[in-house]
């Protein structure tokens, strides 16, 4: 959900909760006061007394309406808060797996794989990284490293695309998921020659990654694609002699 939509929903729900909460409390106090006054009055006197106009007095139905809107508004605020808290906690958990440069927290097994890669033995490095990933399946930065080796060192875009596709099946933060998807879209539109899949993935990034940098990047790419498509349509022959 986009940031401005969330802010607007917060404002609306909080305003409704405050407004109808105040109305409910005010009319509830008046309603209970009327009930208390009626219970203390003489029943015989009430029968003979001239009825009072009660148009301005609160009734039970109105209280139910005010209370219902207040409860629904409070639930809406609670759901928004729960969503934002879950995203925040997920982001914190994601950062626990990555250092400030966006790389995974290293251990001896990983260092061995990196040394093997530095020696130019790329397939062995992939095998070691995959073993590390099998032991630590949540550390998807290792899968991204495999995709990078396939793409840049082995010049195998198909294998790299398959690795990125597997990464995108995991639950990552919107920003990390978006950047992985951007890399995959680049491979689709470039070496694999699949522009339709690239555009479809970019639209998904735009729809699912909110106001993150990769979503903004996707929107820029989509603008270029849409512009190119419009130019191609305008240049088509009309069939006139």
Q: Is the pLDDT of residue 235 over 50?
A: no
**Six-digit token string for 51:** 């009825």
Give the pLDDT confidence of 8-54 residue by residue, as tens digits.
888 888 888 888 888 888 877 877 777 667 666 555 555 444 444 44
The count of domains in the chain is 2
Q: In CATH, what number is assigned to the domain containing residue 174?
A: 1.25.40.10
Distance between CA atoms of 168 and 170, rounded to whole angstroms? 5
Residues 92 and 113 in one domain: no
Distance between CA atoms of 190 and 221, rounded to whole angstroms? 13
Distance between CA atoms of 215 and 221, rounded to whole angstroms? 10
Residues 173 and 195 in one domain: yes
Residues 112 and 202 in one domain: yes
Residues 88 and 152 in one domain: no
Distance between CA atoms of 159 and 154, rounded to whole angstroms? 9
Give the pLDDT confidence of 148-206 residue by residue, as tens digits.
999 999 999 999 999 999 999 988 889 999 999 999 999 999 999 999 999 999 999 99
* Residue 214 included in any domain: yes
59 Cβ partners below 8 Å, 6+ apart?
A: 31
**Both ends of the chain: CA-CA distance in Å?**
51
Residues 116 and 87 in one domain: no
In percent, how much of the chain has pLDDT > 90?
Answer: 38
Residues 86 and 123 in one domain: no
Give the pLDDT confidence of 47-98 residue by residue, as tens digits.
444 444 444 555 777 878 888 888 888 888 888 788 777 766 655 555 544 4
Q: Is the pLDDT of residue 234 over 60?
A: no
Centroid of chain to Cα 60: 41
Residues 123 and 225 in one domain: yes
């Amino acid at each position: 959900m986009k940031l401005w939509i969330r802010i607007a929903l917060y404002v609306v729900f909080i305003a409704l909760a405050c407004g109808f909460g105040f109305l409910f409390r005010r009319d509830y106090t008046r309603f209970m006061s009327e009930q208390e006054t009626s219970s203390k009055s003489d029943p015989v006197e009430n029968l003979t007394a001239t009825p009072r106009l009660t148009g301005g007095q609160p009734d039970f139905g109105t209280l139910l309406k005010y209370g219902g809107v207040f409860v629904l508004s409070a639930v809406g605020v609670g759901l928004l808060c729960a969503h934002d808290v879950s995203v925040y906690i997920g982001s914190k958990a994601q950062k626990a797996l990555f250092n400030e440069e966006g790389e995974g927290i290293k251990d001896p097994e990983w260092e061995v794989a990196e040394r093997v890669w530095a020696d130019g033995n790329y397939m062995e490095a992939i095998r070691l990284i995959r073993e590390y990933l099998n032991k630590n399946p949540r550390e998807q930065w290792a899968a991204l490293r495999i995709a990078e080796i396939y793409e840049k060192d082995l010049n195998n875009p198909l294998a790299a695309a398959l690795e990125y596709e597997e990464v995108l099946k995991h639950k990552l933060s919107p920003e990390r998921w978006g950047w992985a998807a951007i890399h995959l879209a680049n491979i689709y539109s470039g070496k694999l020659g699949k522009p339709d899949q690239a555009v479809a993935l970019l639209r998904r990034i735009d729809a699912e990654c909110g106001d993150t940098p990769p979503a903004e990047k996707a929107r820029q790419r989509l603008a270029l694609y849409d512009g190119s498509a419009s130019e191609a349509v305008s240049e088509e022959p009309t069939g006139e002699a």
